Structure 1
Amino acid sequence: MAFRRTRGVVALLLAAGCGLGAQALVPPAGLPSEMPAEFKVASGSWDHARREVMIPMRDGVKLRTIILVPKGAKDAPILLTRTPYNAAEQTGHAASPHLGAVLQGYDNVADLIVEGGYIRVVQDIRGKYGSEGDYVMNRPLRGPLNASSVDHSTDTWDTIDWLVKHLPESNGRVGILGISYDGFLPLMALVDPHPALKAVVPMNPMVDGWRGDDWFHHGAFRAQNLSYIYEQQATRANEARWWTGYHDDYDLFLQAGSTGALAASRGMDQLGFWRKLTEHPAYDAFWQQQAMDQVLARRGPLKVPTLLVHSLYDAEDIYGALAVWKALKPKDAAGGLHLAMGPWNHGGEIGDGSGLGPLKFGQDTGLHFRREILKPFLDQHLKGAGQADLPPVSAFETGTNTWRKLPAWPVAGEGTTTRATPFYLEAGLKVATTAPRAGDAPFEEYVSNPAKPVPFRARPIQAVGYDAAHTWSQWLTDDQREASGRTDVLAFVSEPLTAPLRIAGEPVANLVASTSGTDSDWVVKVIDVYPDEVAGQPQLGGYQLMVSADIFRGRYRESAEAPRALKPNEPLVYRFALPAAHHVFLPGHRVMVQVQSTWFPLYDRNPQTFVPNIFFAQPGDYRPATQRIYHTPGQASCVELPVVK
């Protein structure tokens, strides 16, 4: 009853208004926003001006572009990066009034930008983050694969045209640079370059997604890239996150079965690029027409000075930069094409290059690149700062840890030649430069079981990641001893070297091999085996360091375009190039060649039974197979090393 009396008193007070008036108790219809319609940053103390604009393309689509202009800039060159990875994030690394701090992080060329007085421009490509339009992975050029009126070449042209007309602080000279996908986009700028484009720097660019960059290597699919495809294509701003209930990616991919089954379990059939991948597992016109080295080779002489940047330990795009170099150098009559090659992981040239994994280089190779190679190149072509003293090729030599100025690549230096030298795989798991002899055992063999594939690194295998907690970017420098001790890996090894062995170029695998199945993968690794004890670095005692390694899918032995089943138990020749190396095997070291048939889960498993499409192989298709590597006088397996003489 007390509760009821209280309610009555309240009712009387409200009725009387308690002397306040009834109107005062009626809440307003709405509260006005406390935020201004547009907040204007009080940036008077900043050392730069930040402008965000929507630049119109020729089809009416507008691309979000962030422009950072140094305070007091006059006749300043423009340095442009186009990206699918969020321009706002790349230009907002710190709550600071200083341009260097704002750019620091992803953009570790910040020191060159600030010191050089560059206007920094970063743009979201169409369909990503703040830009309008539709996103297509590595949007092809206008033509058979792109019926629209626009591509990355036209978008770059339109962007540069707008910039030079609307930035009064600029000198009208534009350079474009970027890494990976951002490195593929400068290559697109070379297709039909704007007259104001004066310097192009593709770093670790995506070039050919089937032969050796992100999606396939010689036809074997890079399965761990599923997470990238998922996050990059599911939403405009990468909000959808790949998930896993496993601590070890090996378990995740193995339990799923085929790569197609795992993708289906994540709903990836909704993604246009994933559907294209599964529809084009062979090197058909879809891949051939997008290969940027061939696209540029067909365009005629190089029109814009270009600095290609390649990383010797690139876990994503170890093929592309050197493929473009080979395609364009014969057309470079003006000498505008340069190559820089360092001991970096993917994009490592803009970070601390003092070491990678267990390797120490005795210097900051990344700083050397930025100060001694990149800066002079940009200064010459964007600021008119005189002729840069750059050789055609600046290449770091691992093993001796030495920078070399070279007249060409893979020619190793003045007065030297590079000769393909066979290192034979011989009986007793030996490596030698002498050919096999009659009477030796004809082959070595192992059983490859898809149910127990060879892990590509020590387990548990982390998912692909780029923060401090992940070591994905270092795996090419992992110790290979765990693999060499497995029964399904053959490890051929030489005697200790008595003199330095210098190589410069692409090793070539020449396997004479058979399988009891009807399809097979072949993995070949060239390895530098350290002495059992290493003074000053005991952790490198007996270390097995990969110098070059790759995989080849057997069904493409006769034709990359038309896969064919293998004839069981018949010795066949498999010849394929491995990634380029610039390395010296020191005295006391040994040369090892490892051969195996799985490299998991970096690459999807070959069922070892020929099926029309491995993406959709069924559980019963995966079968063990007996693999043989032959080493007789008529069937000699070897790896040709590009030995410098």
Structure 2
Amino acid sequence: MNSLCRLLCFVVVASASVFAASPATAQEVRPDGGVLLNVMMPLRDGVKLATDVYLPRAARGESPQKASTILIRTPYNKGTGKSAEGKYFSEHGYAVVIQDTRGRYSSEGTWHWMTDDGPDGVDCCAWIAKQPWSNGRIGMMGTSYVGGTQHAVAMAGSPHLKTVIPVDAVSNMGRQSMRNAGAFEMRFWNWIMLNAGKGSHAAQDPATAAVLTEMAAERHEYLKLQPPRPGTTPLKLAPEYESWLIEAMRHGANDSFWSQNNIVDFPEQYSEIPVYLVGGWYDSWAGNTTANYMALSGRLKSDVYLIMGPWIHGAQGSSSHGQVSFGKDAAISNPLAWRKVWFDHFLNGDDSGVGKVDPFQTKVRIFVMGTGDGTRDEKGRLNHGGSWRNENEWPLARAVATPFYFSPEGRLSTTKPGAGESATSFTFDPKDPVPTIGGNISSQNDIMLQGAWDQKGGPHVWNWLKLIPLSARNDILVFQTEPLAADTEVTGEIEVKLWISSTAVDTDFTAKLIDVYPPSADSPGGFDMNIGDGIVRARFRDSLKEERLMEPGTVYPVTVKLYPTSNVFKKGHRIRVDVSSSNFPRFDVNPNTGEPLAQNRRIETCVNTVYHDAGRPSQIVLPVIPGSR
């Protein structure tokens, strides 16, 4: 019997076994180089999900051998049997299952952000374990939303799931991601505006898809018309997307609404499996990636690994991000090959890699940024540089929490403020918010810039076209050190502790850490490189679970949690902190009125004050590595 006949016979047998446990029927099941296309996998509630199965050669034929399975569940279209991941891993002996999540592309059901991905993923794993080509051992991989589907299954508890590699993964949405200390991250507004007309059921109608596409093309104008209201925009044509977005923008508290993938508050729900957490210092989920490591490494008996590079969202294969280069070693040259090392170990028992070679030699591997020479490469990118370092824990035990205090005239130093009252006030006008230039961003498509950028406007910043540095704005308080006498490494979690008051009952306070390059031949004006940022909405100053408006004029302590980092501030550079009350469209703009979240009809200008005296010592707490100063 020739190979084609054997494959066709196998497909008949396999197709019958696929549906032996349920009455489901396939939309299309045909062999395509060892791929079963559009198998409609049944769920417990009768919904069917479109699924492609890539089979290794040993799993084909009349007597298929059983293989471990790599599962990828995606809202971004499983494709038509030409997945690079499917091809790579099936050629290396794995079965690969790629599936459209509920309500997306070819799958049935109604989409809702992440709430169904736990039980749906558990059902998918159970289905895989029953197939003749499966040995019942499953690993999951993928980035962003696809990373979130891994956490969802791990928290829902499939006995067949043996390991996960969540990259820049959705988690802890009420903490520092979708809601960030009470503020809403507008990248999710952008995600809805783009995806409501792409991959949704509404988009299957060409006329409706055209209207939604037109809406997406006008996003810069819609950004000026916040907040969205039910039934008032073309988004009403995709009602599940409109209703979710409006509810998410109105729900600030970190409570049961955001319970899906809440690893930090409920680590005990996570399956006892090996986890490789992958993140980047400029990724939108960076704070949650390190927080998940701290939560899971303290609870799981299984291996928990962490790698943090100088990357933006989903870009581990690149070494340059924004206007900055971190050196060729910053990139992972073959991202599928290193995942294979992990899966070979935890799914197939190969002991040759994990624990013996990088990036698996130690539990924590970080890229320490900032050791470049500051010159420009052929593309004009700043050589910020850096290098990899293996560690044994996160945060680093040897890091020293060092307060740098704010002082009058914009000084930042380790000297505590002296006696006497001291404060700086500024006017915050929600109609003229501080523009976002780089940072921890994803789903930015055309409305934001990712990664490291000089904090200066220009044609690349749609809402700050002027060739003017942000530091010139009167609504930004700039605090910076004198030029550093020695290289200073800052590695770890970072907080800005402020004492504030406002003429409003609610407002925001933002903070941004900046590495200030001095003028040089390549950068005559210097280079103000953003390192990390954060925000706090004042009504959530005491608790992420409960709102409490302020009394105008009353002084309150608030904490702005920045994203984690590892950066060397070189000799001659300055460490700078910018404090303001907006960072748009990174975060939604607070109208200062105290109205219910995302339901305001009014906007008020307010005066906000930051105190920096002995009794109210506003400061940034930096984890400084001893010997680096």
TM, length-normalised to structure 1: 0.78
- Corresponding residue number in structure 2 for 1:145: none
Classify 1:369/1:553 alpha carbon distance in 2 versus 1 (closer, same or farther; 3 Å): farther
* AA partner of residue 610 (structure 2): I
- Corresponding residue number in structure 2 for 1:477: 452
Q: Does 1:324 align with 2:292?
A: yes
Q: 1:290 aligns with which of 260, 266, 270?
A: 260
- Corresponding residue number in structure 2 for 1:161: 126
Q: Is the 8 A contact 1:518 1:568 kept in 2?
A: yes
Q: Does 1:614 align with 2:614?
A: no
Q: 1:424 aligns with which of 405, 408, 425?
A: 405
* AA partner of residue 455 (structure 2): Q
Larger deviation: 490-499 or 274-283? 274-283
Q: Does 1:54 align with 2:40?
A: yes
Residue-by-residue CA offset, 1:402-458 (whole Å, 9 max, x unaligned): 1111111111xxxx611211011111101101111235x711222111222211139
- Corresponding residue number in structure 1 for 2:378: none
Structure 2 residues not aligned, in runs of 5+: 1-25, 60-64, 372-385, 457-468
Q: How far apart, CA to CA, are the structure 2 residues paired with 1:436 and 1:193? A: 52
* AA partner of residue 84 (structure 1): P
- Corresponding residue number in structure 2 for 1:625: 606
Quote the offset at 1:333 in angstroms.
Answer: 2.8
Quote the offset at 1:167 in angstroms.
Answer: 4.0
Q: How far apart, CA to CA, are the structure 1 residues paired with 2:87 and 2:331? A: 13
Residue-by-residue CA offset, 1:312-360 (whole Å, 9 max, x unaligned): 1113x333322221221111234x11111111111112xx322112221
- Corresponding residue number in structure 2 for 1:636: 617
* AA partner of residue 330 (structure 2): T
Classify 1:110/1:327 alpha carbon distance in 2 versus 1 (closer, same or farther; 3 Å): farther
Q: Does 1:119 align with 2:119?
A: no
Q: How far apart, CA to CA, are the structure 1 residues paired with 2:48 and 2:219? A: 42
Q: How far apart, CA to CA, are the structure 2 residues paired with 1:463 and 1:338? A: 23
Please list, as runs of the form range in 1=range in 2, the aligned pairs for 1:221-240 lying within 5 A after superposition: 221-233=184-196, 235-236=200-201, 238=203, 240=209
Please list, as runs of the form range in 1=range in 2, the aligned pairs for 1:189-588 lying within 5 A after superposition: 189-213=153-177, 215-233=178-196, 235-236=200-201, 238=203, 240=209, 241-244=212-215, 249=220, 252-254=222-224, 256=225, 258-261=226-229, 264-268=232-236, 270=239, 271-287=242-258, 289-294=259-264, 296-299=266-269, 302-315=271-284, 317-334=285-302, 336-349=303-316, 352-367=317-332, 370=335, 373-386=338-351, 388-389=354-355, 390=360, 391-400=362-371, 401-411=386-396, 417-438=398-419, 442-457=422-437, 466=445, 470=446, 472=448, 474-481=449-456, 482-533=469-520, 538-539=522-523, 542-588=526-572
Count of equivalent residues: 551
Q: How far apart, CA to CA, are the structure 1 residues paired with 2:272 and 2:399? A: 30
Residue-by-residue CA offset, 1:357-410 (whole Å, 9 max, x unaligned): 222122253425737853322221123211512211111111131111111111
Q: Is the 8 A contact 2:282 2:452 kept in 1?
A: yes
- Corresponding residue number in structure 2 for 1:11: none
3-state SS in 1 of match to 2:148: helix
Q: How far apart, CA to CA, are the structure 1 residues paired with 2:153 and 2:544? A: 29
* AA partner of residue 204 (structure 1): D
Q: Is the 8 A contact 1:81 1:182 kept in 2?
A: yes
Q: Does 1:70 align with 2:51?
A: no
Residue-by-residue CA offset, 1:38-88 (whole Å, 9 max, x unaligned): 999785xx4x4344312222333222110112334555432110112211x
Q: Percent identity?
A: 30
* AA partner of residue 299 (structure 1): Q
Residue-by-residue CA offset, 1:517-566 (whole Å, 9 max, x unaligned): 221100100111112116xxx25962111111011111111333332222
Q: How far apart, CA to CA, are the structure 2 residues paired with 1:345 and 1:378? A: 25
Quote the offset at 1:243 in angstroms.
Answer: 3.8
Q: How far apart, CA to CA, are the structure 1 residues paired with 2:472 and 2:152? A: 45
- Corresponding residue number in structure 2 for 1:79: 70
Q: How far apart, CA to CA, are the structure 2 residues paired with 1:394 and 1:508? A: 22
Q: How far apart, CA to CA, are the structure 2 residues paired with 1:165 and 1:191? A: 22
Q: How far apart, CA to CA, are the structure 1 residues paired with 2:35 and 2:492? A: 46
Residue-by-residue CA offset, 1:261-314 (whole Å, 9 max, x unaligned): 598334449433134225523334322x335214651327x5111111112111
CA RMSD, aligned part only?
3.0
Residue-by-residue CA offset, 1:94-118 (whole Å, 9 max, x unaligned): xxxxxxxx324xx5x965x366333
Q: How far apart, CA to CA, are the structure 2 residues paired with 1:39 and 1:578? A: 48
3-state SS in 1 of match to 2:451: helix
Larger deviation: 419-428 or 562-571? 562-571
Residue-by-residue CA offset, 1:112-142 (whole Å, 9 max, x unaligned): x366333221011222222223322211xxx
Q: How far apart, CA to CA, are the structure 1 residues paired with 2:202 and 2:348? A: 35
Q: How far apart, CA to CA, are the structure 1 residues paired with 2:299 and 2:442? A: 41
Q: How far apart, CA to CA, are the structure 2 residues paired with 1:246 and 1:262? A: 20
3-state SS in 2 of match to 1:514: strand
3-state SS in 2 of match to 1:322: helix
Classify 1:484/1:69 alpha carbon distance in 2 versus 1 (closer, same or farther; 3 Å): same
Q: Is the 8 A contact 1:232 1:238 kept in 2?
A: no
Q: Is the 8 A contact 1:516 1:627 kept in 2?
A: yes
Classify 1:311/1:263 alpha carbon distance in 2 versus 1 (closer, same or farther; 3 Å): farther
Residue-by-residue CA offset, 1:148-172 (whole Å, 9 max, x unaligned): xxx433322322232233242x444
Q: How far apart, CA to CA, are the structure 1 residues paired with 2:77 and 2:102? A: 11
Structure 1 residues not aligned, in runs of 5+: 1-36, 93-101, 140-150
Quote the offset at 1:248 in angstroms.
Answer: 8.1
TM, length-normalised to structure 2: 0.80
* AA partner of residue 322 (structure 1): T
Residue-by-residue CA offset, 1:165-208 (whole Å, 9 max, x unaligned): 3242x444221112111111111221244343222111111112
Q: How far apart, CA to CA, are the structure 1 residues paired with 2:518 and 2:219? A: 32
Larger deviation: 548-557 or 127-136? 127-136
Larger-gyration structure (1/2): 1
Q: Is the 8 A contact 2:183 2:587 kept in 1?
A: yes
* AA partner of residue 323 (structure 1): A
Q: How far apart, CA to CA, are the structure 1 residues paired with 2:513 and 2:282? A: 13
Q: Is the 8 A contact 1:607 1:614 kept in 2?
A: no
Q: 2:146 aligns with which of 174, 179, 182?
A: 182
